[in-house]
Structure formats: structure tokens, C-alpha cells
Structure 1
Amino acid sequence: MGKPAKNAFDAQVFLAKVGEGKSILQFQKGQNVFVQGDRADTVFYIQKGRIKLTVLSDQGKEAVVGILGSGQFFGEGCLNGHRQRICTTTTMENCVITAITKTAMIATLRDQPQFSEIFMAYLLTRNRRVEEDLIDQLFNSSEKRLARLLLLLANFGTEGGPQPINPTISQETLADMIGTTRSRVSFFMNKFRKLGLIDYNGHIKVYNSLLSAVLHDKPQLKLEEGGS
């Protein structure tokens, strides 16, 4: 295999270093990167850490709509004409984040095909995840929704997974994301542990048996008490 061209574009180097229209930011746990309603003029890339996305309704009700980790973009709505942020992003642990102005992002997408491919692949994956989440909410029980969420958070199906789930993701957050109560999440978590599908002692460890239970719709995921 030939050596890459001397001036070949390296997407990872681009995302990891300061440059024109690009800065590296560090956030402590619990800080907002941006707040719902803020001006949208920057795309962000997570080098290290996790963030959660929340939305506040007109009635003042807050909902967690996503959790993102290393290697993922957010705030890309500004490229699609969004002038204001439609959600709030909050760090769940100490984070290192690359901020790229809208102008710099558009120029790089236009001039660097390799970066465009990476970003397009991310958008397609994100869109598929949104569609799957909608189907999940419409057709699956809260128990199965929790099982799927745990698999996603543990990075099942990705090159680097599976990994233990960070303890900063609380049962309240899990409940918000699947549309149920914390007590229901606690009940299901205890049940999954008794069945040997997960284990938790600080970090949550997800076993392959949970994936098998979801894929094959095994009976143990149909034993909810009460409604979903």
C-alpha cells in the first residue's frame, strides 16, 4: 500500500487541533455547552467525555432526548438553517470539545471530501438512530426500551464496544429517555441483574445475554408488572 500524500487531509488531526474558525474547549462536569434558545452558529465535536441533550417544553417540563460521547458531533442543526438551539447540552463528566464555526465547517465540507464522507456517515447514523428511537417508543414496552438503551450506552455494535456504562448516567436519566418512572427503571434493572443480563457496582456492565434477549424477544422481557 502506497504512502499517503504529504499534504493529505487528516480528519482526526483537523478535529483535534486549533485552527482558523476552530478552537478546543474544556468543560467541567455539569456545565452547559449551549442552552435551548441560544444563537446557533457553531458545530461541536466531542474529543473526550459525554454530554446529555435535554429539551424544555413551553409548560416547563424537561426531557432527556439523547446522550452523546467521544467521536460524535452535535449542534449541526446550524448547518440546516437553525438560527437558535432547539435543545440544551450539558456535560455529564469533564469534557474536551472542538468548536467549529459554521463558516469554517461549510468550507471544510466543501474543500475536503474525506471529511465530508465522515460527517455524512455520522449524519446518516444519527438519522437512523432517531428513526429507531421513534419506533422503539411507539411499539416496545418500557422494559424492552430500557434494554435497548443500555445496549446503546454500552456501545454494543460499535468497534470500541462493549464498554461499562458510566455511573454519571442515573436511573432518573434513563427513565427520562425511555418515558417511564425511576421506580420502574429500578425494578427492571434489578430484574436484569437477577437474570444475569447485567451487573452493576458503580459502573453498569451489560452482557451479551441482554442483546440476545432483545434480538430474540425472549419471554423474560415480557414480564412487566403493570403497564409500560
Structure 2
Amino acid sequence: MRDYQPVQIVSLLSRIPLFEGLSADELARLAKSTREMRVSKGETLFRRGDPSTGFHVLVYGQMKLALSSVQGTEKVVEIIQPGQSFGEAIMFMEKPYFVFAQALSDSLVLHISKTAIYEELENDHAFVRKMLAGMAMRLHQLMIDVEAYSLHSGTQRVIGYLMHELVEPQQKDDNVVLELSANKGVIASRLNLTQEHFSRILHDLSALGLIVVDGKRICIPSVPKLRAHQLA
């Protein structure tokens, strides 16, 4: 893995929403404790039980956070997209990772040491609020997931996912096209469904004329009709 020079890491950090508003000096201090990691598709960034020495930010690519049983069954907890950070809560708890992280595509990840983060938190209250807001949003999403798994049907979960994937703001509600952000197996696991169940739901929605499936591309002829079916 090739290391970036400090000035390049500062440039990468400055593009991450979490670090917006930090001064050049603050970014430079963080850069000294940041290392760049290139992770190839299928490669594991960290495993369950590994010690946490900081947290990560995804610059480009895609990562999944997942649990794996002794039988080999996998449950995807979260799909990380560019600009997102992950691992903050474990860093603050000073516990080992309880999930593993694996690249879904060739990715560039920044690892920022907890020592540097602790120093910045002591000096910048706005940065504290941003980190708290990020963790609160993740907790809120977890509660939404628990509600969906407990109270919503598989079809409702799939439609909810498609609604979430729509690019905002939508300029029109007819013939909207989106591309699935990951393969169907990963998305199914994220929605707490088997891949077969997920594919069957897509087939049923297609048979009803609510979507048109072309590989990873999904065309929605009418967003209001699809949303109404979710609420039915």
C-alpha cells in the first residue's frame, strides 16, 4: 500500500464532510496521524476481534460492515459509501471490532488515529458536535432498521430501499432510473432477506408493472404508485 505525502492527505481530508470547517493547521495536525490504505475488492480491512486504534473514512470505493456466524452465514450491517466515516463508536469505547469490514470494490480508506482525534476534540467544540451528530445518525438508522425488520414486510423493505436510493432531488416522478449500489446478495443481507427472497420480490414488483429490472438498473415507471404500494 502506497503512502500519500502529508499535503495530499490534507487535501483528501478537506473533502470529507466531517472535517469541513477545520482550519489548515488542524487538518495538517490530523494528516500527521492519518495513513492512506488502498483496499482491493474482496480484501478485508479489519476482522472481528481486531483492536481499534482509530476510525476510518472512505474516500472512494465501497465497503461493507458485516457479521459472520460459525456456520458461515453473513449479515451485512451497513454499506459504507464515499465520504462516510465508520468505527468511531468502537474507538471511543476502546473495544475490539465486533464486525468485519470488506471492500465491495477497489477502495481508498483513510485511517485516523484516536490520539489525534482526542486532541482535536479537546480544542474544537464544533468538531465534537459533528462527531456526535454522525454517531447519532448511525444510531437513528439502526433504530429504523430494527423497526423495519420487526414491523415491515419484505416487500415494504425492498421498496423502502429503492426509495432511499433515489437521487435527490427528483426532477420527475415518472420513468426514474436508478442503479443498485451493491450486488443483490449484499443488499438482501442488508435488508435481512435471503437473496432468493429479494429476487422474488423484485420479480413480483416487475410483474405488477411497478418496476422494470435490467441487471443492476431499476426503472420505476411511477414513483407515486410504487410508494402507494409500499403503504398498502
Normalised to the residue count of structure 1, the TM-score between the two structures is 0.75
- Is it true that 1:188 corresponds to 2:201 in the alignment? yes
Q: Distance in 1 between matches of 2:57 and 2:84?
A: 6
Q: Distance in 2 between matches of 1:212 and 1:71?
A: 32
Q: CA deviation at 1:63?
A: 1.2
Q: CA deviation at 1:155?
A: 5.5
Q: CA deviation at 1:215?
A: 6.5
Query: Paired residue for 2:139, among 112, 115, 127?
Result: 127
Q: Residues 74-95 of structure 1: CA distance to partner in whole angstroms, max 9, x if unpaired?
A: 1113333242101001111111
Q: Is the Cα–Cα contact under 8 Å of residues 63 and 103 in structure 2 kept in the other structure?
A: yes
Normalised to the residue count of structure 2, the TM-score between the two structures is 0.74
Which one has the bigger strand percentage? Answer: 2
Report 1:14-33 matches (<5 A). 14=27, 19-33=31-45
Q: CA deviation at 1:179?
A: 2.4
Q: Is the Cα–Cα contact under 8 Å of residues 52 and 67 in structure 1 kept in the other structure?
A: yes
**Structure 1, gaps ≥5 residues long:** 1-7, 220-228
Amino acid at match of 2:75: A
Q: CA deviation at 1:198?
A: 3.8
More divergent stretch after superposition (196-205 vs 122-131): 196-205
Which one has the bigger helix percentage? Answer: 2
Equivalenced residues, count: 206
- Is it true that 1:165 corresponds to 2:179 in the alignment? yes
Amino acid at match of 2:77: V
More divergent stretch after superposition (21-30 vs 191-200): 191-200
Q: Distance in 2 between matches of 1:115 and 1:79?
A: 16
Amino acid at match of 1:28: S
Indicate the residue corresponding to 1:41 in structure 2. Answer: 53
Amino acid at match of 1:67: I
Indicate the residue corresponding to 2:92 in structure 1. Answer: 80
RMSD: 3.2
CA, structure 1 residues 150+216, in 2 after alignment: closer, same or farther (shift >3 Å)? Answer: closer
Query: Paired residue for 2:65, among 53, 56, 64?
Result: 53
